[in-house]
Amino acid sequence: MSLYGMMRTGVSGMNAQANRLSTVADNIANSSTTGYKRASTEFSSLIIPSTTGNYTSGGVTTTVRNSISQQGDLKYTTSGSDLAINGNGFFVVQGAGGSPVLTRAGSFVPNAQGQLVNAAGFQLMGYSYENGIPSAVANGLGGLVPVTINQTDLVAIPSTTGIFTANLPLDAEIVDPADLPSANATTATYSAKSSLVTYNSLGSEVLLDVYYTKTADNTWEVAIYKQSDAAADTSFPYTGDELVGTQTLEFDPANGKLTTTPLDVTVTIPGPPSQEIKIDLSKMTQLDKSYTVVSAEADGAPPASIEGVQISDDGTVYAKYENGALKPIFRVPIATVQSPDMMQVLPGNVFSPTADSGVVQMGFANESGRGKVVSGALEGSNVDIAQELTDMIESQRSYTANSKVFQTGADLMDILVNLKR
């Protein structure tokens, strides 16, 4: 039995080294594969109980491990839709079967339907902004849809926020309440005036006339009208919807900064549909200087088609329009598991969670230990060619040595069989 055991052990060693050579071959073949994770063969001894004076040889068993948690080097590209994760986590993608899986391979390009698809044909999944600012689903992969960039539709972006920063002159004269712009009288008087361009839901330009009027020491009125409602030549009185926004500003006489709460004004433009624009006034000042506009801007854009996408490091996918406007349309989540190396490796360089790896937890980039999304970059494989060649030589020599053990056992068995002849 000892000769048979020796031969069986030799076969076990050759089989183990063959498994190791298989992983080495796979690693070398995929050394240039985006997001590939190195496979390795781990050995453990197989011991068979022996009796006194008689040793029974056992063998060796192998377990294949994948270094999924080990990050590869980032390589920068010229495509904004190429994505990499610098840190922990995985992209959620979906194949032809419809089941979501995880990957680090982020070589995404739009297909004929505008969906971002990587080199293996998996669609990038994300949360849509269609129903407001998205949030990650805490207990699963629900709510995810394919990230789609439709480059043929014309889209108008209505204004929702703005910023107006200016200095109001300290020495301005106080205006009588009956002559304030908010009274909308023919005799309306104001201390300063500016106009601000905004856009409605159809992309039409809506000009707002913004009036600043001193009503008392350190107190000002902000009155906003639609310019299209102004009377010819004189502006006042405005017709139609008249006053669309008003606010009282109070300044600290010690430093000329605002003490008003809230520090913004909400402009309501009647529809349909009705539109609200919140304009930030928090940086307004009252100093001994003439009326000076420092910053005046509002979001929104007229109708334009999408010419590309821009992806921020928090995973927000912005549609970039021909006129330069940006609109958030999707947010790409980052998935994590407790033990990434225990996930099942599937074709196409994707991974599926198992009972040993733990359940998938969803979140966004830069949150709870997750990495950040890097646009215009790809994660290379974590294969070290020098190490693989070294492992190949070691396996080759070990395989040869085990074959010698088997050959020696076979020769001794021949001698034993021929003793009777």
Q: Express as a percent the part of the chain with pLDDT over 70.
A: 98
Listed range (88-97, 144-153, 289-298, 370-379) with the worst mean pLDDT: 144-153
* In the predicted structure, residue 204 carries a pLDDT above the cut 60: yes
Domain region containing 350: 74-153+327-379
Specify whether the CB–CB gap between 159 and 151 falls below 8 A: no
Asked whether the predicted pLDDT for residue 1 surpasses 60, the reply is no
How many whole angstroms separate alpha carbon 358 and alpha carbon 369? 17
Element (H, E) at 385: helix 385-418
Contact 245, 221 (CB under 8 A): no
CB 217 within 8 A of CB 164: no
Asked if 375 and 390 sit in the same domain, the reply is no
Tokens of 170: 């300290």
Q: Determine the 3-state secondary structure of 18 from DSSP.
A: helix
The answer to whether residue 309 is domain-embedded is no
Pair (407, 356) in one structural domain: no
**Span of 51-55, 122-126, 218-222, 395-399 with lowest mean pLDDT:** 51-55
320 is a domain residue: no
Per-residue confidence (pLDDT) for residue 54, from 0 to 100: 75
What torsion, rounded to 10 degrees, do the Cα atoms 278, 282, 286, 287 define?
Answer: -130
Statement to judge: residues 225 and 184 lie in one domain: yes
Residues 256/284, Cβ–Cβ less than 8 Å: no
pLDDT at 24: 95
Residue 414 lies in a domain: yes
Residues 27 and 13 grouped into a single domain: yes
User: Does some domain include residue 322?
Assistant: no
Number of domains in the chain: 3
Question: Within a domain: residue 133?
Answer: yes
C-alpha angle with apex 225: 221 to 231, nearest 5 degrees?
A: 120
pLDDT of residue 175: 95
Give the pLDDT band of residue 55 (cuts 50, 70, 90). confident
Neighbours of 16 (CB within 10 A): 22
Give the DSSP H/E element, type plus range, for residue 415. Answer: helix 385-418
Whether residue 7 has pLDDT greater than 90: no
Pair (20, 6) in one structural domain: yes
Query: Mean of the pLDDT values across residues 205-211?
Result: 94
Distance CA(262)–CA(160), nearest Å, equals 17
Amino acid at site 278? K
In a domain, 313, yes or no: no
Which tokens belong to 356? Answer: 């040993």
pLDDT tens column, 13-43: 999 999 999 999 999 999 999 999 999 999 9
- The answer to whether residues 373 and 399 belong to one domain is no
CATH number, position 179: 2.60.98.20
Query: pTM here?
Result: 0.71
149 and 163 both lie in a single domain: no
Query: In whole angstroms, how far apart are CA 313 and each of 75, 108, 360, 371, 380?
Result: 16, 16, 21, 9, 19
Q: When comparing pLDDT for 151 and 231, which is higher?
A: 231
Separation of alpha carbons 270 and 339, rounded Å = 54
How much of the chain, in percent, has pLDDT values that exceed 90?
A: 64
Identify the pLDDT of residue 242. Answer: 75
Q: Amino acid letter at 52? A: T
Mean pLDDT for the chain overall:
90
pLDDT tens, position by position, 68-101? 999 999 999 999 899 999 999 999 999 888 889 9
Same domain, 263 and 213: yes
Q: Are residues 394 and 359 in the same domain?
A: no
What's the whole-number mean pLDDT along residues 387-413? 91
At residue 260, the pLDDT reads 78
The mean per-residue pLDDT over the stretch 196-223 comes to 94
Q: Over 90: is that where the pLDDT of 314 sits?
A: yes
Residue 316 lies in a domain: no
Read off the pLDDT of each residue in 317-333 and give the average, rounded to a whole number: 87
Q: Tokens 């407790």 label which residue? A: 338
Q: Return the closest-CA partner of residue 34 out of 121, 124, 106.
A: 106
Q: Does residue 147 sit in the same domain as residue 55? A: no
Average pLDDT over residues 143-154: 83
Average pLDDT over residues 160-177: 95
**312, part of any domain:** no
Q: What is the pLDDT of residue 165?
A: 96
The whole-number pLDDT of residue 248 equals: 94
Is the domain of 371 the same as that of 406?
no
Per-residue model confidence (pLDDT) at position 31: 93
Q: Which of 271, 321, 272, 281 is nearest to 300 (CA)?
A: 321
166 vs 189: CA distance, rounded Å: 19
Over residues 273-300, mean pLDDT: 94
- Find the angle CA(18)-CA(24)-CA(25) to the nearest 5 degrees: 90
104 and 52 both lie in a single domain: no
Average pLDDT over residues 247-262: 91
pLDDT tens-digit series, residues 96-126: 888 899 999 999 999 988 899 999 999 999 9
361-363/372-375 β-pairing: unpaired
